[in-house]
Amino acid sequence: MKTNIVILSLCGLLMCSCAAEFNRVYKSTDYNYRYEYAKQCFAEGRYTQAETLLREAISLKKGTDEAQESLYMLAMAEFMNRDYESASETFKKYFTSYPKGFYAEQAMFYVGEALYQSAPEPRLDQTPTIGAINAYQQFLDIFPTSAMRPMAQQKLFDLQDRLVQKELLSAQLYYNLGGYFGNINSNSESNYTSSIIVAQNALKNYPYTKFREDFALIIMKSKFELAENSGEERKLERYRDAEDECYGFLNEYPESKSRSVAERFIEKCKKVTKD
């Protein structure tokens, strides 16, 4: 217990000492000294202190060899502090100001990386995800031979999967809402139709997605439920369409875990289409 108290006391004294040293440096009129201390803070992982000193250094170092270094360090300090929105903007500023600068390639990559880190889960608005995709794509276009290309490509694929998952959740939601309103109901028909459209558009936009079977299953189930919930005037037409969809599903996914679902739907469809 005493040992812990001693350790905590020493940590407290060290923190106070560091804070006092930072305040002394911050008040100093020796700007070169302040800049070197900012670099020391950055190297030691004291990113908040580094940010504070670097923001002022950017304007003071303008036109010097250290100008781009201070801007890039500020962006990295923001990134390490998980202020991803600020970091992405600062990295953009660096690349705009120094497109052929020493850190241009890294800055362009980290624009995408910062946006990637702030991208939300699939259920939420995916505007940041789209921004990250565009940033990584721009990086790949500008630096096609970069050593960071594989990382950018992998992150790009991950982000595209988030967009696909968003569409999958939307299609599933429409499908679930379809049966909520009961049987013959214009709202249920509309939701099943919307589920089909969302899933078909996703397959068109992302033909090689790993969720392809999931979308195909939703389309098949929605078409069958649409037939089940149709009025007499459209029932036969929709059962035939559902039956064709089921056969198409089985042809494309013969080993699917949902094979029995497709077979059960076909049996029900045949009872109507054969009459």
Over residues 216-249, the pLDDT tens digits come to 999 999 999 999 988 888 999 999 999 999 999 9
Encoded amino acid at 31, one letter: Y
Cα–Cα distance measured from residue 271 to residue 131, given in angstroms and rounded to the nearest whole number: 50
Low-confidence ranges of the chain (pLDDT < 50): 1-17, 183-184
pLDDT at 168: 97
Residue whose token pair is 């078909």: 200
Give me the phi and psi of 133, to 5 degrees please: -60, -45
pLDDT at 11: 39
pLDDT at 62: 82
Q: In whole angstroms, what separates CA 70 from the centre of its chain?
A: 29
pLDDT at 89: 96
Provide, for the chain, the percentages of residues in helix, strand and coil under a 3-state DSSP scheme, each rounded to the nearest 5: 80, 0, 20
DSSP secondary-structure letter at 145?
T
Q: In whole angstroms, what separates CA 222 from the centre of its chain?
A: 28
Among 237, 236, 235, 245, smallest CA distance to 266 is for 245
Cα–Cα distance measured from residue 190 to residue 106, given in angstroms and rounded to the nearest whole number: 48
Radius of gyration of the chain (CA): 29
Cα–Cα distance measured from residue 23 to residue 49, given in angstroms and rounded to the nearest whole number: 10
**What six digits make up the tokens of 195?**
């589920």
Residues 6+ apart with CB under 8 A from 211: 161, 164, 165, 168, 202
Among 151, 152, 72, smallest CA distance to 80 is for 72
